[in-house]
Structure 1
Amino acid sequence: MSDKEEMASDGSLNVTLTLRLLMHGKEVGSIIGKKGETVKKMREESGARINISEGSSPERIVTITGPTEGIFRAFSMIAQKFEEDITAAMTNSNVTSKPPVTLRLVFPGSQCGSLIGKGGSKIKEIRETTGAQVQVAGDMLPDSTERAVTISGTPQAITQCVRHICSVMLESPPKGATIPYRPKVIPAGAQAVLAPQQAFAIPGQYAFAHQDLTKLHQLAMQHIPLPSLGQSNPTFPGLDASAPTSSQELAIPNDFIGCIIGRQGSKINEIRQVSGAHIKIASATDGSAMRQVTITGSPASISVAQYLINARLSSVLTGLGVL
């Protein structure tokens, strides 16, 4: 029996649901399109309501409401748009293996147990049935009772995955009140510290698709275990150890150097391990408010290290990290 038939059998096709997505500004821009044409088309063709939160936060909430079939169509169109973005990003790069589309759902914590299933049985079933990767964050998002659920794969796999997630939502309603996650606004003046454009400025001939950078951000934010980056799963193509070695220097404010280093060097070691770059932090200089950080390695390794450092700064400035 197909997913559609399963859902039709319990009469859920007429039920209105709301799913929330967490997106970065660049992803939101892609969904909105020029003069709002893309999101307008998505609303008209899916029949779902698609609302995007306002504000100057680096993250935005995209709310999709409608009958389940309308939600599936909306997700299919969003995933397809991101797939097109990845293809376009790869056109001007040497990246050969295509990264999957990645979306982040914001999911009520009280329903996560049903999504995972006893001993992980439900989430395993979803992965095997759809071919999509599904990861549920261990911790609640700040000041909320919601967790991030990351799904990645082909647009078709993601749409099938959303079908299963909707089934879980209908079968296991949330328990108690849900406190929704609201992304925090970056304080004025913090943009200069983040230098977000560095995350996408890939030196030399290397380039990472935006979705790869999104995954790196998720690793930094959600503390996903590093073994998932092993050789059996080359998530980030282009990390070529034989590439020419170069150096890049960053200036980090003294007040934030601790969050880059982490307890007993845990964070800086994590960044070194993920990026493959050598990172040296200079000693504090009398009278200077900044510390010099030198990153050495291949152009791609340097870019990944820069991105993870920026993600770490961002997590602290927006209240998502711990100093």
Structure 2
Amino acid sequence: MEGASPPPQADDSDFLDAQLYLDEPGDAPHAAQEDAPRLAVKFLVPNVAAGSIIGKGGVNVSDIQAQSQARIQIGEPWPGTLGEFGAPPAHDRLLLITGTLDALLTALHAVLATFRSELAALAAVAAREDGAMALRMLVHARLCGTLIGRGGATIRSFKDASGAVFNISPPPGPGDPPERVVRLTGTPDQLLRAVALVLTKLSQNPDYPLLTDVSLGFGPPAAAPAEAWGGAAPPPGGGAGAFLPHAAAAAAAGVGTTSLVMAVPEDRVGVVIGRGGAVINQIKAVLGVRIRISRRGECLPGTNDRSCEISGPPESVALAQRLIQQKVEGVERE
């Protein structure tokens, strides 16, 4: 009707909340499936090399992100990081790059160019006198079998295809971080080809999203019990990832299926759900769990947190809780 006001438009959070209750397979919107998959890769870089990536006032990292459309995060200096193949612990920094494969490789190309332009950074990553550099990727130990292949066939084919040299650190021991160091040596072009091959192969493993920690830290120890992946005891004052008392007991029981309730801050529910329900539906589909988040305004008593109930096999529930907590903590660091 002429002159009539347009209907009110729902904001993103309204739409996302409406997607919470899509529990059946195939309910995720088609638009989310058409998006290019986002990957993540984590490197250990010497402190001086990390400084060259950041640049004065952060200008270098801002330019690289704008050029590549990838996200780059660099952790604080980390004393006692993984010593390389038995070497003493080094003062390295964690470099996390996330984005589509093309964006990620574009960002890495710019990072390597930055190393080559600064003498101190180049010296820190130089591997041989012929201009070769060394990159140290962190790959979860449970994904390394995919990278190595039967009898080492996959990694040999990657060496031949890229021209880079591959070396993988020994499996972690009890209580060690679960990542292994994949050391790549070669020219910048060889390194880019090697990283592309590795990420393409790893992303084909259905456990890749679960075992790729997108935080500026090492994952939980390889031998940690399932409860430790999210912390069975609630932190003071509640907060993201806190278990309610009955949930800790249910998780500890470890029988058949279990259910837990974790707290998610009201203002961070959207990132847990994802646009169009993409994040929460992926977690449900991959892990085979059911997830129910209370409706807006229905908060846990005495808090501004909404309840997130996860049910399913104990190990899958623990992994889902860990993934959700990572999503929330990622927002907290931004």
Q: TM-score scaled by structure 2?
A: 0.45
Whose Rg is larger?
2
